[in-house]
Amino acid sequence: MRLLSLRTRIFTALVFLVLVASLLIAGVTIFQYREQSNTYHEQRLERKENQLKKRISYLFEESCVEVTPDNIAAIFSGHIQQTSDVLNINFRVYSLEGKLLSSGQVMEPLPIQTLSEEVLHQLAQRPDDRYIDVRSEEGIRTRSSYFYIFDQNEVPLAIIYVPYFDDDSLSSMELNAFLLRLVQVYVIMLIIALILAFFVSSYVTQPLDTISIKLNQTRLSKTNTKIELTNASKEISALVDAYNQMVDQLEQSAAELAKSQREVAWREMAKQVAHEIKNPLTPMRLSIQHFEQQFGKGSSEWQDEVHEFSQTLIQQIDTMSAIASAFSQFATMPTGQSERTNVVVTAKRALELYKEAHISLDVADENLYAQLDSTQLVRVVNNLLSNALQATNDIANPKIEVRIDADTNWLTFEVCDNGKGISEEVRERIFEPMFTTKTSGMGLGLSMVKSIVETYGGTVDFDSNPNRRTCFKLRFPRVS
């Protein structure tokens, strides 16, 4: 599973924080409004109760009859409606047994005639306190308050019931208006947060993108540039410093590696040169010793011996000269100049030296040009054809095909043969200097071919099916 980028994570986190903050504030606001509304209704009901208790105490003081539980109905008679209207409180008076004695209710359904056992039980448990019964029916919340009224000796006289309806219409309107304004503000804040998150994430990750690009471009084989950042954070600066130190160490390691590789290459080349030169020295030494023996014997065949001795020395000297020339050419090539060259004409000129009937040439167009040196191209063709001829030397029906083709931008030069091919074991080393699978030669041909082709901006590739077909494919930038 592919992980999210750091920029996406920062962007998402900032937007998420804004959304969570808006939801939390909205939730806290709704909770706070409800708590305030509940507190308001509780305090309002309590104030109504206190007003009613004071009014009742006045009635008891002004009453002409004795204040007893049996006279409660007579005391409130004629005064309950007046009290209800003055205080704007609808209340009812019940006996201690829960029977309705008097009611100040106007234009309401008939009051409950008898209190429930639960109300009587709750009041009996807490006679000095009130009992609040909160109910919600059809979306209307009711607070029913029940409490005892006492005489001067704190003896219960009756039960007062005060119904109260929670009217939250005003607070609900205020809450809806506030939430609407809050949504509008947070939509604006969300848009600002999106823009801010984009720029913040870009600002934070831009140095990391620069470091990532530099790391992907870092190579041991080339000169790597350091990263220069201004106003970077402490962590990014530490990362940049670590990268720059790595570049210095990498450059030092590359120099040491190149030096080591050059030393190894020259040691190997020195061994190869010594080996190749040593081979012809042995027969030269034997020839001189044999000539010395024959000369000491005074042989009559002096002239024949001198001729044979001379031919042997000349042959070995030519071999040593060829070795020296090959290494000299490898060390100094390519030395040609870049010029607009007709590849087809140059290839035909090189093929004139090979009269073998099994070499064929297939040309798509007689006028195919590339920017290179014709002499170096001849060297490339000679090396590829020489290898193809050696590969097909023991084949019953040898066949070598040379094809020259081109598209809009590239010119293709192919040499294919049906020889023994290239095994999987040596494919990766085929272009290394001094590597060869032949019993003779120094293994410089294909290395030289690769160096020449790449010098002129081309590429070399090959495909081989052992004992069936091998193709070397050269590609040069085409010029008009």
Of 307, 332, 357, the position where a domain reaches its end is 332
Per-residue confidence (pLDDT) for residue 442, from 0 to 100: 42
Per-residue confidence (pLDDT) for residue 265, from 0 to 100: 62
Q: Are 366 and 454 members of one domain?
A: yes
Q: Are 351 and 441 members of one domain?
A: yes
Mean pLDDT confidence for 164-169:
74
pTM, whole model, 2 decimals? 0.39
Per-residue confidence (pLDDT) for residue 261, from 0 to 100: 65
Total number of domains in the chain: 4
Domain that holds residue 210: 1-62+168-217
Q: Are 371 and 471 members of one domain?
A: yes
The CATH number covering residue 142 comes to 3.30.450.290
Question: pLDDT class for 49, splitting at 50, 70, 90?
Answer: confident
Per-residue confidence (pLDDT) for residue 284, from 0 to 100: 62
Query: Over the stretch 180-205, which tens digit does the pLDDT of each residue have?
Result: 887 888 788 888 878 887 777 777 76
Q: What is the percent of the chain with per-residue pLDDT over 90, rounded to a whole number?
A: 5
Check pLDDT > 50 for residue 440: no
Structure-token match 């205080």, residue found: 87
Q: Are 306 and 435 members of one domain?
A: no
As a whole number of angstroms, the distance between CA 280 and CA 313 comes to: 9
**Residues, the chain:** 480
Weakest-pLDDT range from 45-49, 195-199, 431-435: 431-435
Q: Are 366 and 466 members of one domain?
A: yes
Is 77 contained in some domain?
no
Let me know if 235 is exposed, middle or buried by CB neighbors in 10 A (0-12, 13-18, 19+).
Answer: exposed
Q: Are 344 and 457 members of one domain?
A: yes
Mean pLDDT confidence for 308-314:
63
Report the chain's mean pLDDT, rounded to a whole number.
76
Per-residue confidence (pLDDT) for residue 171, from 0 to 100: 67
Please, are residues 98 and 120 in contact by the beta-carbon 8 Å criterion?
Answer: yes
Per-residue confidence (pLDDT) for residue 136, from 0 to 100: 77
Query: Over the stretch 392-410, which tens digit does the pLDDT of each residue have?
Result: 887 888 889 999 999 989 9
Q: CB under 8 Å to 309, separation ≥6 — which residues? A: 287, 288, 290, 291
Q: Are 144 and 180 members of one domain?
A: no
The CATH number covering residue 473 comes to 3.30.565.10
Is 129 contained in some domain?
yes
Is 314 contained in some domain?
yes
Q: Are 100 and 199 members of one domain?
A: no
Is 101 contained in some domain?
yes
Structure-token match 């100094």, residue found: 332
Query: Over the stretch 218-268, which tens digit does the pLDDT of each residue have?
Result: 665 566 676 666 666 666 677 777 777 777 777 777 667 766 666 666 666
Of 293, 308, 332, the position where a domain reaches its end is 332
Mean pLDDT confidence for 172-185:
80
Is 161 contained in some domain?
yes
Of 332, 362, 391, the position where a domain reaches its end is 332
Query: Over the stretch 355-405, which tens digit does the pLDDT of each residue have?
Result: 666 888 899 888 899 988 888 888 888 888 888 888 888 788 888 999 999
Residue 272's alpha-carbon distances to 164, 269, 436, in angstroms, are: 113, 5, 12
Q: Are 467 and 414 members of one domain?
A: yes
Per-residue confidence (pLDDT) for residue 411, from 0 to 100: 93
Q: How far apart are the first and last CA of the chain?
A: 49
Q: Are 458 and 354 members of one domain?
A: yes
Is 320 contained in some domain?
yes
Question: pLDDT class for 441, splitting at 50, 70, 90?
Answer: very low
Residue 252's alpha-carbon distances to 212, 228, 360, 373, in angstroms, are: 22, 20, 51, 36
Per-residue confidence (pLDDT) for residue 28, from 0 to 100: 85
Tell me phi and psi for residue 149, to 5 degrees. Answer: -110, 140
Per-residue confidence (pLDDT) for residue 412, from 0 to 100: 93
DSSP tag of 45:
H
Q: Are 149 and 188 members of one domain?
A: no
Short-list 226, 200, 247, CA closest to 14:
200
Is 210 contained in some domain?
yes
Is 321 contained in some domain?
yes
As a whole number of angstroms, the distance between CA 203 and CA 162 comes to: 66
Q: Are 472 and 348 members of one domain?
A: yes
Number of Cβ atoms within 10 Å of the Cβ of 41: 19
As a whole number of angstroms, the distance between CA 53 and CA 44 comes to: 14
Of 38 and 329, more confident:
38
